[in-house]
A and B are shown apart, each in its own frame.
Chain A
Amino acid sequence: MGVIRYLKGLFAPPPAYAPPRPDEGADKKLGSALLDNLIGVRAMFTDSGDLIIHEVQVCGVPCAVLMCEGMVNTQTFSEMFAEPLTRLRLEKPGPDSVLDWVRHQSLLAPDQKEIHTFGELFRFMMSGFVVLLIDGIAGGSVFGIQGFSGRSVGEPAGETNVRGSREGFSEMLRPNMSLLRRRFKSPDLIFEMTVFGDKSRTDCTLVYLRGAVSDELLREVKYRLSKVKIDVVLESGYLQPFLDSKPLSLFSGVGVTERPDTLCAKVAEGRVGLLVDGTPYALIVPYLFAENFQSLDDYSHRPYFATFIRWLKYAAFALSILLPGLYVAVGSFHPELLPATILTSLVVSEETTPFPLMFEALAVFFIYEIVREAGLRMPQAVGHAVSIVGALVIGDAAVNAGIIGAPMVIVVAVTAISSFVVPSLYEPVTVLRFAFILIGGLSGVFGVVLALCAVIVNLCAVNPLGVPATSPATPFSLYPMRDVLFRWGWRTLAKEDLRVQDLAGSDIRGEGTADDR
C-alpha cells in the first residue's frame, strides 16, 4: 500500500503554496481569567528555570508580566515599561480601560503586538518580548524590548574585502535586517517573516525587491520552503538542500554570503535572500556558477584590474582541481609530453622516492587536509602551531627523508593556495581533486579529460530555480557577459538593469511580485 501511495504521490499535482505551519499550541486560546492563563503557562513551561512571572496590580486590576530571563533589556524595561505601568492612574479603572490605555494611549515599546494564543505567547516571549496579561481580557500584549547579548556587527571573516564596507551579518536576525535596510532605503525591499523548525521555531526572513523579483521565482521559493519538515534549524545550511534543485550535484545553486552589501546587490538583480536567526550566513537563490568568481572588490577596482583578478580566479580554480591529477597522469603515462628539463628533474626526484606518483599525491593531500582541518578546529594559537608542524613535516622532513619528491611538494603547495582563491567552491574542489588524482593515476590524461567532461555536464545540469547555473556563458547571452569574463566599467554596467530571470535559458519570466497581480 505504501508503495502505491508513494507512486501516486509522484504523479499527483504539486500542492499549492501553504504558509508555514502555525505555532505549537496555537489552537489553545488565551482565556480571560488571568489565573487560568498563568496555570497554563506554568504547566507548559514546567521544569524550566528561565521563566519570570511578575503579578502586579495596575489601577487595582490584576495583571501579569511574563518574560524570559536574560532576554530583556532591564534598563529599558524599568524605564519604559514598568514605571509608566505602575504609576498609571485611570479615572474609571477596569480591565478594558487598562487595555485601552496600553493599546491606544501609551507607547511602551517600539514593537508592540496583540496575541491570542499560548503558541504566540511562547514564541514572542522566547524572542525576548515582554508579555502583559490582564485579568478579564482574553488575549495579551507583547512588547519588544529585547536585550539579550550577542556578537556585534563585525568584519566578515570569510569574505574580506580591500575596499568597501567592513560590516558583516551577525547572529541576530533583526540587526541583520537593519543592515540591509540601511543600504536599501526603498519601500520595495520586502522582509517576509517566517518560522522554521517544529521544535526550534527559528525566525527567518525572506528578502526580495518588489518589482525586480519574478513572481514565478518568489512563488517557487515559498513553495519549496513550505516543504521544509525539520525539527531544529540552527543554521542556514539546514534549509539549503530544500532550495537546491539537485541536492546530489557537486555544485550548489544556492549561494551563501555574510555580507549585507553582497546580498543587497543580488536582491537588486531579482534574486531572493533568506536570513536565518542564529547565523551570519544568508542564502541567495538562484546562484550562478560565475558568481563564485565575483567579489565586491571587483566593482571598486579599476575594470582592467578587476578583469585580471577574475581571470586569476578562473585559473586558480582550474589549477586547484586539475593540477595534481594532470601531474600524476602526465608523470605516470605521458612523460614524453613534458619538456626535457622538467622531465629530468621529475625522474631524478621520483628515483629517490618509494611510492608511485598517484600514492604520493593521495598521501600528501590526505595529510594536508588533516592539517587544514586540525588548524581550523583548534584554538587559533594552537592552530598556527599545527600548521607549522605540518609544513615542516610535509615540506621539509618528508622530502629530506626521500618519502616524497620535491616537485610533488610544489604541486601540493600551488594547489592548496589556489583552492583558497575561490573559497565558496572549496567543497567540490577538494573532492574533485582527490577524484582526479585517482583517475589520472589509473587512466592517464584520457581519464582526466573524460572525468572533466562529466563534471562539466554535471555543472551544466544544475538549474537553480529555473535559471541555468552556467548562464550567461552557456546558454550564451552577450550583454550579461560584460560581468563574467571581463568586468566592464560602471558606465557600461549601469546602462541597463540585469535581472536573473532575463538570462538566456531561464525558465522564469515576468516582473513584479505575486502581490502586484
Chain B
Amino acid sequence: MTGSRPRDISPAQLVMLLLLCRLFVLFTYTSRSENNLSGPAVLAAVPLAAAGALLMLLPFFLLRRKAGSDMLTAFWRVGRPFGAALTAACGLFCVYMAASTAGHFSFFLVSTVYQNAKQWVFVLLFLLAAAYAAALGLEAFSRAGGFFFAAAMAAGALLLFALLPEVDLANLANPFLDPGALAAGTLRGVAGNADILLFLLLFPRVRGGSGKTGFWWVALTAAVWWVLCFFVLTALGDYAGTRLFPLQTAAAVANLSVFGRMDLVHITVWIITAFLRAAAWLYCGCTCLRRLFPKVRMGAASALCALAAGIAAVAAAPLWEAAGSAWESGVPLLLLAVAAPLVTLCFPRAKSPVEDGKEAAQ
C-alpha cells in the first residue's frame, strides 16, 4: 500500500508548480527591452500572450478527448518508431530546458552576486540539488511547491509594497503606440513559454485535471506577470530597459524600513523558482527516458538527465548562443506541443481503448 506506488498531484499543486516555473522566466527577463518584451508594450502583450498560450493548449485537449491525458502513451500507440522519436525529442527538450535554467541561473549569480566565482560550480551544485528532488518524485517537489508558492507570494507582496514609494505612473506610456513591438512581444511571450510542454507532460499525473487547470495556470501566470511588469516599469521607467536583470534592480532599489535592501528576498525567490523549475524539467526528462528504457530506475534516470544537462550547460557553452536563438524562435515548442498532438490525432490507432469502451457504452 504505502511508500511504493507513485501518487498523483492535485490540479492546484500543478498550477502552483507551473506558476513558480514561469516566475523564474519573469524574474530573468521582465521588461528587458532589447531582447525581450519592449517596455510599455509589455502590459498589453502579457494578456495577448496568455491567450496565445491557451490556443497552444487546444491540440493537447483535443488529443486528450480522444486518446486520454497521457500524450506520450498516445504517441506510442501510433507506432514504436513514432513514439520513440517523439519521446526522445521531448526528453531532449526537457534536458535542454533544465540546462537552460541552470545556465541562466548561474549566469545571474556570477554576473551580479558572486562576480569572481566559476560558473560551473553553481551549475554543479544546482543540478545536484535539482536531480535529488527529481529522484524523490513529482509528489515530493510539487508538495514543496506549495510551501515555495506561499513564500514567493509573501516575498513578492513585500517587495512590491517596498517598491510602492518609487512607483511613478508618469513612466507609463500607451502600450499600443508601437504595434510592431506589441506583436513581437506577444509572439515572444507565446514562443518563449516552454512551460506549456511541462504542463502537457505533467498533466497525466494530475488527479481530476481538466481544461480549467490549464486556464487557471495561464490566467494566474499572466496576472502575476502583469503586476510585476507594471511595478518594474512604473518604478524604474526607461532605466529598466538598460538593466540586465530589471527585477533585481527594482529589488535593490526597494527599501522597507529596517529591512534595508530587498535584493536578498529577490535572490531567495529566484533560487527557489529556479530549483523547482530545474527539478520539474529533470523529472519530465526522466519520465521520457524511462519510457524509452523502462528498466532504468528513477534515481539513475535523474542522475543521467542531470549529467546531460550539466554538460550542456557548461561544456557546450560555445553552442549555447545558437541553441538559445533556435529555442527562442519557438519552433521546437510548436513542433512538440502543437504539431505532435495534431499529427497523432490523425492516426485512429492513437485512440485510447478506454475511450473506445466509453463510446461503445454510449
Contacts and interface: CB of A to CB of B under 8 A. Distances in A.
A445 B268 contact: yes
Interface in B238-281: 258, 260-261, 263-264, 267-268, 271-272, 275-276, 279
A446 B271 CA distance: 7
A454 B125 contact: no
A498 B268 CA distance: 36
B147 A473 contact: yes
A216 B1 contact: yes
Interface in A92-143: none
Contacts of A447: 125
A457 B13 contact: no
B264 A476 contact: no
Interface string B1-42: 111010101101100000000000000000000000000000
Contact of B144 (A220, A456, A465, A466): A456
B114 interface: yes
B7 A507 contact: yes
Interface stretch (A227-235, A272-280, A331-339): A331-339
A453 B2 contact: no
B137 interface: yes
Contacts, number: 116
A474 B272 contact: no
A337 B260 contact: yes
Interface string A396-430: 00000000000000000000000000000000000
A434 to B, nearest CB: 18
Contacts of A508: 1-2
Interface residues of A, number: 40
A391 interface: no
Contact of B147 (A245, A336, A456, A505): A456
A449 B268 contact: yes
B272 A443 contact: no
Contact of B129 (A220, A336, A450, A474): A450
Interface string B111-134: 001100000011001100100110
B107 to A, nearest CB: 13
Contacts of B263: 337
A468 B143 contact: yes
Given A245-B2, A461-B136, A476-B12, A454 B129 contact: yes
B264 A463 contact: no
Contacts of B147: 456, 460, 470, 473-474
Contacts of A339: 258, 260
Contact of B109 (A219, A446, A454, A475): A446
Contacts of A333: 114
A453 B114 contact: no
A345 interface: no
Contacts of A463: 2-3, 7
A475 B10 contact: yes
Interface string A434-471: 00000000011111011101101111110101101010
B52 interface: no
A128 B139 CA distance: 50
A465 B1 CA distance: 8
A88 to B, nearest CB: 55
B1 A507 contact: yes
Contacts of B9: 475
Contacts of B12: 476
Nearest to A443: B125
A246 interface: yes
B141 A450 contact: no
A445 B267 contact: yes
A443 B117 CA distance: 10
B264 to A, nearest CB: 5
Nearest to A471: B143
The winner among B3, B122, B125, B279 for most chain A CB atoms within 10 A is B3
B3 A245 contact: yes
Nearest to B13: A475
Contacts of A337: 260-261, 263-264
B146 interface: yes
B132 A454 contact: yes
A338 B263 CA distance: 12
Contacts of B137: 461
Contacts of A505: 7, 10, 139, 143
B132 A470 contact: no
B2 A460 contact: no
Contacts of B145: 474
B354 interface: no
Interface string A314-358: 000000000000000000011011110000000000000000000
B169 interface: no
B315 interface: no
B343 interface: no
B268 A450 contact: no
A466 B3 CA distance: 7
A457 B9 CA distance: 15
Given A454-B132, A466-B2, A460 B144 contact: yes
Contacts of A246: 3
B114 A444 contact: yes
Nearest to B3: A245
The winner among A445, A474, A507 for most chain B CB atoms within 10 A is A474
A101 to B, nearest CB: 51
B227 interface: no
B53 to A, nearest CB: 25
Interface string A358-396: 000000000000000000000000000000000000000
A474 B260 contact: no
Nearest to B151: A456
Given A337-B264, A447-B125, A453 B10 contact: no
B268 A475 contact: no
B140 interface: yes
B114 A446 contact: yes
B132 A220 contact: no
Contacts of A445: 264, 267-268
A451 B129 contact: yes
Interface of B: 1-3, 5, 7, 9-10, 12-13, 109, 113-114, 121-122, 125-126, 129, 132-133, 136-137, 139-141, 143-148, 258, 260-261, 263-264, 267-268, 271-272, 275-276, 279
Given A446-B109, A457-B141, A457-B279, 7 more contacts: A334-B113, A446-B267, A449-B267, A454-B133, A460-B143, A470-B147, A473-B146
9 smallest CB-CB distances across A and B, nearest first, come from: A474-B146, A461-B140, A460-B143, A466-B2, A245-B3, A461-B136, A449-B271, A457-B133, A453-B275
11 contacts: A453-B271, A454-B129, A454-B133, A457-B133, A458-B136, A460-B144, A461-B137, A463-B2, A474-B13, A475-B10, A504-B10
